[in-house]
Amino acid sequence: MRLMAGLLLSLLALLPTSERSFAAAGTLSVGRLERLSESLWCLHEACNVYIVKRGERALIIDSGEGAVLGCLDSLGIKQVDWVLQTHSHRDQCGATAELAARGAKVAVPEAEARFFRDIESYWDSFGLFIRYQFQPDTYQPRINIPVDLALADRDSLLWQGLTFRCLATPGHTVGSGSWLVRLDGHGLAFTGDMIYSPGKLWNLYSFDHRYWDGGFEGVTKDLAGLQKVIDSGAQSLLPSHGVRMDEPTAAAAALRENLARLYDLDPAPELEERASRTHSEPPRRWTRVSEHLYHVRPTSFLLVAPDSSAMFYDYYAIPEIKEPEYYDSILPVLAELGVKRIDLVIPSHFHEDHIRGIPDLQRRYGAKVWVFQNMADLLENPSRYNLCCVAPERIVADRVLHDSEIISWKGYQFTVVHFPGQTFYHQGMYGIIDGRRVFFTGDTDVYSAGDYNLYHRSRKLHGISTFLNYYLLEPGRGYLKALQRLIDFNPELLLCAHSGAKPGNAEMYRLNMEAMLPRRELVAAVLPQPDPNEGFDPNRVRFYPYSLDIAPGEAFETQVILRNHRTEAVEARLSLEAPAGWSVEPSVAPLRVAGKDEAGVRFTVKPGAKPDGRRRTVITAQVIQDGEDLGEPAEMLLEWK
């Protein structure tokens, strides 16, 4: 329970109201209170908590992480009547259950209600594997929060002579809403995370609705909702994160302009037509690339040695129906190509459509699996990671490969390199096959000069099919690192997992590099953080393991890892939010993370009794970084044995 921190408040009571900071006992949450008008205050903490006061009663828009519980007395508030939520992200509603227990009623946008009322069912049914949809995301409450009123679009709530109208404004979440009210003679819109400041968003990854979208659907919905708020006559925008905006039209226009540089919001009709064209599939499963090399649909390359043994680069044997018996579908292909056994499999990255047949090759042929260093644990322990497209099968590496390592098989020699593009967990491999310089690119795409996607990547953000892949923007670490590999080696033939072999040349690689170089600056223009990777990385704070089997009363260890994208070191304090009756050691842990590095803190957790009828319990990590309240940015799924 989040209680008033009495000693802290007695010391802070000497400060002017607009300068006071507040905290609640039992939580790391801290806040700074600012008076916006006669009846309105803003408490800046994990989000902006807006407090509307009428005498000794109050209405709150979004509750934050709990600092609001410590400032009510100083404002002379004896009762909070309502908490209005803009959306269900944890930083918006961390204190809502406690406020409800103290007598407040809770109102939410209708489309968001299920993530409050029945979030525990959501967690019990959440699919960790083969994820291609990301809305709703995992930044949801741990426990159910009571809802007294779910408002449809344009419905109103009356309180103390004020009319609060709810507008459906999805984008940041699937059910986000904005609240409109005329207060102290001014038309206000509490807009959630639709906009941070003129031209900026709080982050980009929350707008990621589905795979191969890169946030396009979310930001286009967001801009439509923002226009809807402006058309309602709002004179000021009050965001969940960011600053008050008293010129809404100009603020929205600046945001659209910045997003239009990042995405093709209004591509030319002929470009849309080109993007929508479909390509007919070849009549058979395989295509011959050269004398000994074949592309096997949908994602594999097969290299056949003179002794009829073969190696796969990526392997996915079940293209139509994803059931184990369909592994046999590869046998006719191997027979056609004269392959008697599979010696080796090398995966380019962890996505299920590149690896799901590998355990069958291990069982059937005794095939060895060589895995790049940053994927070895991910493939062996997939449930430890919160990533997209993860397969449930465990794949144990027979050999771990390292960056720039030279490998040999049946007279062929290849160099393995870190090749991050579609995901950080990705390798590439280059060498000579049948007299030609080839490069196995996996899903880190490269485009020819006439390709639509080279300059018009509206829904892909230059190879980013989803932010949950984990992708970095700067040279030497992300897509630019992969492109530099191609420039250095200058392959004649690119072996692309899905599309097959295609010719490459130095001019092509140069054009791709030129197209990619502005990306970091374009993203930075949309985001307020010192480093744009912070608003680009949904796993900046994460648990390891992400999922774990537990039993009542049996202690377990977990680690919370903070990734610091900034060049300078950061200082943080971390704690865990767990059910009542559980023990967590330490209660609060300090952490220093060097620039462009990551570090973690270990916690020992002893669970209580298993809740009746529950499959999972969720715990979260609360983080204060350099005095900034990040809320509870990471969760861990605990599976009851």
> Which strands make up the sheet holding 500-503, listed edge to edge?
405-409, 412-418, 427-433, 436-442, 493-496, 500-503
Give yes or no for a contact between 375 and 403, defined as CB atoms under 8 angstroms apart.
no
pLDDT higher for 453 or 377? 377
Say what the pLDDT of residue 451 is: 86
For the stretch 249-305, pLDDT in tens is 999 999 999 999 999 887 665 555 554 444 555 568 899 999 999 999 999 999 999
Mean pLDDT of the residues in the chain: 92
Contacts with 518 (C-beta within 8 Å, 6 or more apart), sequence order = none
For the stretch 461-504, pLDDT in tens is 766 789 999 989 988 889 999 999 999 999 999 999 999 999 99
Say what the pLDDT of residue 27 is: 57
Return the minimum-mean-pLDDT range out of 10-14, 106-110, 462-466.
10-14
Is the whole-model pTM more than 0.75? Answer: yes
For residue 319, what pLDDT band results from cuts at 50, 70 and 90? very low
Residue 359, amino acid: P
Say what the pLDDT of residue 166 is: 98
Judge whether residue 20 has pLDDT over 80.
Answer: no
For the stretch 512-566, pLDDT in tens is 999 999 999 999 999 999 999 999 999 999 999 999 999 999 999 999 999 999 9
Say what the pLDDT of residue 474 is: 83
Say what the pLDDT of residue 620 is: 98
Give yes or no for a contact between 236 and 189, defined as CB atoms under 8 angstroms apart.
yes
Say what the pLDDT of residue 9 is: 32
Average pLDDT for 89-113: 98
Q: What percent of the chain has pLDDT over 70?
A: 90
Judge whether residue 2 has pLDDT over 50.
Answer: no
Tokens of 354: 């590149």
List alpha helices for 83-215, DSSP H: 90-93, 96-101, 114-117, 119-125
Phi, psi (rounded to 5 degrees) for 62: 65, 135
For residue 459, what pLDDT band results from cuts at 50, 70 and 90? low
Give yes or no for a contact between 509 and 483, defined as CB atoms under 8 angstroms apart.
yes
CA 448 to chain centre: 30
- Consecutive H or E run containing 210: none
User: What is the rounded CA–CA span in Å between residue 291 and residue 191?
Assistant: 61
- CA diameter of the chain: 88
User: What is the rounded CA–CA span in Å between residue 314 and residue 300?
Assistant: 5
Contacts with 202 (C-beta within 8 Å, 6 or more apart), sequence order = 172, 193, 196, 239, 240, 241, 242, 527, 528, 535
